[in-house]
Amino acid sequence: MAHMCPKCGGEMKSLVRSLSARVGPFSVKSFLPAELQEYNSIEVRVCAVCGYMELYWLR
Ligand SMILES: [Zn+2]
């Protein structure tokens, strides 16, 4: 499902990343403040045309 850029109407590329992924000995989640610990993944949408970026926190 394609998403449209709210700025230019271009196509948004979507990328979902798990916050449980590990960076060396740490999980990505361990770097987040306490109020974000309830989320399990993050969706990044980037417009292929103008570079506009949106972040969505997913439970
Ligand atoms: Zn755009």
For residue 28, what are the CA distances in angstroms to 18, 35, 41, 52?
8, 14, 10, 24
* pLDDT class of 20 with cuts at 50, 70, 90: confident
Interatomic CA distance for residues 2 and 26, integer angstroms: 33
* pLDDT class of 21 with cuts at 50, 70, 90: confident
Residue 47 sits in which domain range? 3-58
Kindly tell me the number of DSSP H helices and DSSP E strands found in the chain: 0, 6
Prediction pTM value: 0.74
Go through the chain and tell me how many residues it has.
Answer: 59
Q: 17 CA distance to ligand 1 centroid (A)?
A: 21
Q: 53 CA distance to ligand 1 centroid (A)?
A: 8
Rg (CA), the chain: 14
